[in-house]
Copies of this chain bind each other. A is one copy, B any other.
């Protein structure tokens, strides 16, 4: 059996009681940190959980995933994943492969940026549209996907969660703004919320998207929400109290 255990957003204390029980009972405990990052060091997790943990690389869950699946047929494996498992396609593909080989797979869910971002910004969870990732330029080409997704979401008056690339190093908000500025046709000249360290010592600022790079967000992980065409009055009030939103945000209160 293979059990994916979510580690939640911050450190070794964010695992659930159910997740910790699975770790203690496992024959072998793996962790993967390339689809998502945790602020804790692996040594902290080992101490807190009382188990040795082996790190999986990208290839272990992709090209060579058959090794893990075959081992899961014999042993009780746990794979620790920051946030909520299965948000990454890598995990769901591995689940399909395991099922086809008759190996049981279980998921122990945990907190994810996908829902937690609503909590720290006060933005209504049901008003978020599609999510996109801002990637580092690849051979000098910048992906237009984040801009396309923002446009699609604006067309239905939805907020856009922009996740920032994690590899080789977690992208910061100023980096993301600089990257997107090079391809923006004006759609990002709009209110946005910058968020750092959700689940830890979080820091949240609402401002014009381009002004976000002038704020000191501190250490990553960082993420950005580009607001929809309008905000609800309760969203406005929350952003004024907790995210230093400018008074001019009132212009888009619906």
Contacts and interface: CB of A to CB of B under 8 A. Distances in A.
Interface of A: 6, 8-10, 12-18, 20-21, 48, 83-87, 89, 91-93, 95-96, 99-100, 107, 109-112, 114-116, 118-120, 122, 124-133, 152-153, 155-156, 158, 198-199, 234, 237-238, 241-242
Count of this chain's copies in the oligomeric assembly:
2
A100 B199 CA distance: 22
Given A130-B156, A133-B126, A17 B15 contact: yes
Nearest to A8: B16
A87 to B, nearest CB: 5
Nearest to A85: B119
A86 B14 contact: no
Given A16-B16, A129-B130, A156-B156, 15 more contacts: A16-B111, A85-B119, A86-B119, A92-B238, A93-B234, A95-B242, A96-B234, A99-B241, A107-B120, A112-B114, A112-B115, A126-B131, A128-B130, A130-B156, A130-B158
5 contacts: A86-B119, A89-B124, A91-B119, A128-B131, A155-B156
Contacts of A111: 6, 16, 84, 109-112
